[in-house]
Amino acid sequence: MTLKTAFETLAYVPAMESDATAQAWLDAHDRKFGLFINGEMVGQGNETLAIHCPADNQHLADVASATAADVDNAYQAARAAFTGWSQLSDHKRAQYLYAIARSVQKHDRLFAVLEALDNGKSIREARDIDVPLVARHFYHHAGWAQLMGQTMAGYQPLGVVGQVIPWNFPLLMLAWKIAPALAMGNTVVIKPAPATPLTALLFAEICQSVGLPKGVVNILPGGDEAGKAITAHAGFDKIAFTGSTEVGKIIRRATAGRDIKLSLELGGKSPFIVFASADQDAAIEGLVDAIWFNQGEVCCAGSRLLVQESIAPEFFRKLKARMDKLRLGHPLDKTIDMGAVVDQAQYKQIEAWVQLGISGGADCYQANCVVPTEGAYYPPTLLTNVDQASPVVTEEIFGPVLVGMTFRMKSEAIALANNTRYGLAASIWSENINQALEVATKIRAGAVWINSTNQFDAAAGFGGYYESGFGREGGKEGLYEYVRSAAETRLDLSTLPERDANWGAHTPAFPIPANGATTGVDRTSKMYIGGKQARPDGHYSYAVLDPKNALVGYASDGNRKDIRNAVAAAHAAKGWADRTPHNRAQILYYIAENLAIRQAEFVDRLRAQTGATRKAAEQEVELSISRLFSYAAWADKFGGTVQETPLYGLVVGLTEPVGVIGITCPADAPLLGFISLVAPAIARGNTVIAIPSQSAPLSATDLYQILETSDLPAGVINIVTGNQDHLTKTLVEHDDVDAMWYFGDALGSREVEYRSADNMKRTWVSNGKQIDWLNSTAAEGALFLRAATQVKNIWTPMGD
Amino acid sequence: MTSTHIRNDGTPLDLAWVKATKINKSAVTRHIKTLAGRRTAKKNAQIAWQLKAISLIDLTTLDGHDTDDRVRRLCAKAKQPLRKDILAGLGMDDLELTVGAVCVYHNRVKAAVAALAGTDIPVAVVSTGFPTGQVPVAPQLKAINQVVEHGAREIDIVISREYVHTGNWQAIYDQIKAYRDACGPAHLKTILETGELGSLANVYKASIVAMMAGSDFIKTSTGKTKVNATLPVGYVMCRAIRDYERRTDFQVGFKPAGGIRTSKDALSWMSLLKQELGDEWLEPELFRFGASSLLGDLEKQLSHHATGRYASGRYMPSS
């Protein structure tokens, strides 16, 4: 453009960030890269991934694609490195992480330019958001490494971690995975996405330059083969994955029963709620950062706009006007808002979604802005006239496509926001703080941003509810994904049972001879559902025998309809979570009080069922009362933390109840095992369906009268007796159960984890390993409370 | 001002609109922070914007020690703000470049008008008890009448901030309307003194009331307080101008003043106006910088573009 024209039009001209150093770096490697295993670049003979810039299709490099054999080599290197790395002092590990943070900063522009070229994102975002967050993540976790001995006493590193990351934030996701793993003393094998491995390879050179011990970090660019090899490899102590919900489910199934830690950060369709009380123009700028950030290729993108009906026409008019001002262009151009989507395949997928929306009756508005004709540029798009049944509303599009709907009142906004299988994030716009905070607590998602959006920081854990996955990345909550209790050892995988398609099959029982049991007034043990004692749906009962096979009594033989009824009752009781913590504590204390009154009766019942000595039975009942006291105490002492992020405002990490929890109780300690699991769950506001010990269910059913006299609301605890695996099968396959705790055998543990994948319910299984319920260090406390809760971070900026 | 521009006639005071104001400061701050990364004028665009910025300057002297001779020097600079050899070096010899206006106190108006005779450069005058506004209204009306007779074409008034803090929007409206009537053909530029208004919501409210009362321009500050023109405040005023145009079809001008010293500052403001209001607001009819030292930096930057050498102020004619 001539100066005269520029003066007359005052138009922007492309202002390109120089890629000279990035190109020189690629050239210095002959544009060929291998795999980073055991501190060396290897795999030069492998098949290669051709890496292109999606904005102009320029060929950037060829990168070796990892094979299953490479994954095993990397695993062996990481395993060999683990002993030394995990035995380094906290301070020494902190020094390495600090050096990595410093090195990322020293070369931050090179990282940013490479990322923009490789992924297509704008240099502004790569430079101002991605790379600073990467450095911040390593700094923050250098701190956790330094403090591990002080803040994580009683925990040990897991071992070797396998990690698989996506292409939308290639370097940032690498940082989110590697930093906490290394801080807690683990070693890693990480697979960058096949389309975007370049910054990971530059990061490998950072690892070399800071002298990180060989094998601590292994980086394997690759595709499906390498990804499957990581999830199939029995050696990994943990798998961490960020990507689609579909693949997350596959990984959940593939790793079922292996007694590994699993964290999955999956998809989303996050609501962006604008109340009439909002600053509308601010909300519209928020939308720019919500759905047109990173071309909309963001798992927590605010892709589902909900606008209060009274302001909707004006809001949509303003939004369209704002869309027209967006600028698309080459990722390295410093005058743009949006770059290119990652590749042509993604472009076609986005276009297919939009066409599907239009064919379903949606009105489509695409920004009236200049869209470059070459390269994978998709215009900012708004679909209106859509509803909750439209696939474009329910499914993740992963592109710059916003769907817009209206709501009438707050309760409807909350209901629409929660009407999704996902639960990753939400953005709420209102100038009324009471309104905003209330909605923030009611929306089921891991991150809630008030009057802001897409806020991230190393000090605040990120992760989802429901099919958005589980586990947190960042914050202290994220550290627990990379440690286990000091006393815990992993299951011996040579004993891992094969899956059984018939698992949980059960034929109802029939009466048996009393075999010498004493008779008095006959007692009938029923189900306890919705606060009422209910006869089993199938009208069958099974005999409860003592260790000498003498009949103790009959328990109801429950079936799937009993479970269905119990789950419905548990949902009807969800107001329990809104009770004050003090009130929940009072009721737990009251249960303990009433149990104490009837201590002798419970001792006798335990002895009758298990043949325990009087002393042992008395100890179990006393510990049960003590444990109820513990969780009554915890009811108002585990609410969350203030997260120390850079936000000018408050970031509060709330520990919210998981929801409806199914609990399959251990066979031993029929009373104490039941109480050890049910009490933490209800203390933190969950409602439960408990399946008592199959062999000794009567200690649980005896509790009905105590629960009824302790002011426990109907449906908070539901008890279904019968064949544990049969009942567990229905619970774990129930879409309306949010978590499943299973303290049965290794096969059942595997089946529970496998079958939980359909709705991505949280699972906590024993893998057949026994907890010593009499040992309060192992059988009570934070481990149980964390299982009963999930962290929601609410970001509240301040200032007016 | 060109005759094609339609002046803002004002509207009745709409208190419901004032009361509905919602400005979220944290969101505004975040938005403004990203703007510099999203837009930048480089290469020829940068030169063009710097040249344009000169034409948007209200070249200002507002000192107790101002004299008529000092004002004449300023006017000479206003007429030829950039050395001809620099323009030639940029290949823009035929560009008739002047500043947007010369801005002085009442007592200097005659000297300024005389010095600018034969040019289109208007004389602007700061008025109504500038900078505090702590004066009675009636004498100010007479003073405005007088300077307009003396040839002032733009009157920069200050609002009484007390009415903002007491919520008396009617009084502000009446006051500005009275000044506007006193201006006659001269254009009214209303200084809100945003650094003294306490909140962005008050900035927005004062902006729309000033426009409803018939201001031709709304202006951030006097340059005489600790906090002057900031981009978040400017953005909120742009939103008010945008909303006012949407409701009335009148386009109202914007003048940030105070603290704008570098070419980079100026270009950030131009980016803001281009983004929030559109290209029409990059012309002197709708956009001015209130600045005294900005011109010096623009001269040096443009000299650098023309010669490739970093420049010294010693080589630029002072005002």
CA distance B201 to chain A (A): 8
- Reply yes or no on whether the pLDDT at A569 is more than 50: yes
| Cβ contact A325–B22 (<8 Å) | no
Question: Which residues in chain B are closer than 8 Å to A800, comparing Cβ atoms?
Answer: 23-25, 199-201
The full set of domains in chain A, from first to last, is: 24-266+480-485 (3.40.605.10), 271-463 (3.40.309.10), 525-789 (3.40.605.10)
Cis peptide before B131 (omega within 30 of 0): yes
Which residue shows structure tokens 């080599």?
A73
Mean per-residue pLDDT for A489-518? Answer: 87
| Cβ contact B37–A128 (<8 Å) | yes
Question: What is d(CA A81, CA A86) in angstroms, rounded to the nearest whole number?
Answer: 8
Mean per-residue pLDDT for A318-347? Answer: 97
SS3 A40: strand
Question: What is d(CA A576, CA A330) in angstroms, rounded to the nearest whole number?
Answer: 53
- Reply yes or no on whether the pLDDT at A518 is more than 80: no
Question: Which residues in chain B are closer than 8 Å to A277, comparing Cβ atoms?
Answer: 22
Closest Cβ opposite residue A2 in set B22, B44, B282: B44
Contacts of A27 (CB under 8 A, 6+ apart): none
Check residue A517 and give its pLDDT: 59
Closest Cβ opposite residue B25 in set A1, A2, A799: A799
Binding-face residues of B in 136-175 toward A, CB within 8 A = none
Asked about B219 being catalytic, the answer comes back as yes
Question: What is d(CA B288, CA A645) in angstroms, rounded to the nearest whole number?
Answer: 39
Question: Which residues in chain A are closer than 8 Å to B24, comparing Cβ atoms?
Answer: 278-279, 282, 429, 431, 451, 800
Closest Cβ opposite residue B38 in set A3, A124, A797: A124
| Cβ contact A1–B45 (<8 Å) | yes
User: Residue B104 is inside which H or E element, if any?
Assistant: strand B101-105
A286 touching B, CB under 8 A? yes
- Reply yes or no on whether the pLDDT at A437 is more than 90: yes
Share of chain B above pLDDT 90, in %: 97
DSSP state of A509: P
Say whether domain B15-312 belongs to CATH 3.20.20.70: yes
Check residue B5 and give its pLDDT: 80
Check residue B1 and give its pLDDT: 43
Mean per-residue pLDDT for A135-149? Answer: 98
Q: Decide if B206 contacts B172 (C-beta within 8 A).
A: yes
Question: What is d(CA A267, CA A250) in angstroms, rounded to the nearest whole number?
Answer: 14
- Domain spans of chain B, in order of start: 15-312
Q: Which of B28, B29, B38 to mutate to test the interface with A (most CBs of A within 10 A)?
A: B38
Asked about A620 being catalytic, the answer comes back as no
Q: pLDDT band at residue A520, thresholds of 50, 70 and 90? A: confident
SS3 A68: helix
Check residue A516 and give its pLDDT: 63
Question: Which residues in chain A are closer than 8 Å to B204, comparing Cβ atoms?
Answer: none
Q: pLDDT band at residue A495, thresholds of 50, 70 and 90? A: confident
Question: What is d(CA A556, CA A423) in angstroms, rounded to the nearest whole number?
Answer: 37
Q: pLDDT below 50 — which residues of chain B?
A: 1-3
Residue A652, token pair as written in the block: 């509060």
Question: Which residues in chain A are closer than 8 Å to B95, comparing Cβ atoms?
Answer: 7
Which residue shows structure tokens 């290949």?
B91
- Reply yes or no on whether the pLDDT at A515 is more than 80: no
Mean per-residue pLDDT for A476-501? Answer: 93
CA distance B135 to chain A (A): 30
| Cβ contact B27–A285 (<8 Å) | yes
Which residue shows structure tokens 């892709």?
A303
The answer, yes or no, to whether ipTM is higher than 0.85 is: yes
B22 touching A, CB under 8 A? yes
Residue B15, token pair as written in the block: 């208190």
| Cβ contact B92–A4 (<8 Å) | yes
Q: What are the angstrom distances between the C-alpha of A469 and each of A240, A326, A457?
A: 11, 33, 19
Check residue A519 and give its pLDDT: 62
Check residue B2 and give its pLDDT: 46
- Mean pLDDT in chain A? 97
Mean per-residue pLDDT for A168-186? Answer: 98
